[in-house]
């Protein structure tokens, strides 16, 4: 969780086997993140040249919007076939800025013995202003399925 003590806590998860592939929202006229909604993608695995399985995604669902009414829309979506694994930004009383971290996913091995591998993360262009204090959170093990 990020931000101050205002607002209402919520949890939104992507349906079924979908994963987060981005977010959309709007900035308040003062520059902070006014509202946000998760963008989910369906998943499929494709055999790669090394005999392992790469995750492929297709945008499918936009989760319900949360936050205050705002006027400057933004979209921040991971590159093709990558998923959200974390985020960073700036926060104080409000969520001032967000930047999402994306990674491709490979499953190495077979059904009897396998490992999930996240590759080098790419940080998307930040949305929002420069107020508040910097924070960061990310997963080194699994893609994100929702937002809290």
Alpha helices in 85-142 (DSSP H): none
Q: pTM of this prediction?
A: 0.85
Contact assessment for residue 32 and residue 7, using Cβ atoms and an 8 Å cutoff: no
Cα-only R_g, the chain: 16
Mean pLDDT (whole number) for 4-17: 82
Which pLDDT tens digit goes with each residue over 78-106?
Answer: 999 999 999 999 998 888 999 999 999 98
Taken in order 121, 124, 130, 133, is the CA torsion positive or negative? negative
Q: Determine what percent of the chain is predicted with pLDDT higher than 70.
A: 89
Mean pLDDT (whole number) for 121-147: 81
Residues in the chain: 148
Q: What does the alpha-carbon distance between residue 113 and residue 99 come to, in Å, rounded to a whole number? A: 35
Contact assessment for residue 45 and residue 54, using Cβ atoms and an 8 Å cutoff: yes
User: φ, ψ for residue 34 (rounded to 5)?
Assistant: -85, -40
SS3 84: strand
Contact assessment for residue 19 and residue 57, using Cβ atoms and an 8 Å cutoff: yes
Structure tokens at 107: 């499953």
Residue 34 has pLDDT above 80, yes or no: yes
């Amino acid at each position: 969780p990020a931000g101050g003590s205002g607002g209402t806590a919520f949890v939104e998860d992507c349906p079924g086997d979908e994963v987060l592939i981005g977010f959309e929202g709007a900035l308040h006229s003062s520059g902070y993140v006014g509202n946000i909604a998760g963008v989910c993608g369906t998943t499929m695995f494709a055999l790669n040249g090394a005999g392992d399985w790469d995750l492929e995604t297709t945008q499918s669902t936009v989760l319900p919007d949360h936050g205050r009414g705002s006027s400057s829309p933004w979209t921040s979506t991971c590159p093709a076939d990558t998923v959200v694994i974390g985020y960073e930004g700036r926060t104080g009383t409000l969520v001032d800025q967000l930047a999402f971290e994306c990674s491709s996913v490979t499953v190495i091995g077979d059904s009897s013995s396998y490992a999930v591998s996240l590759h080098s993360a790419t940080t998307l262009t930040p949305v929002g202003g420069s107020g508040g204090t910097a924070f960061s959170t990310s997963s080194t093990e699994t893609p994100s399925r929702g937002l809290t």
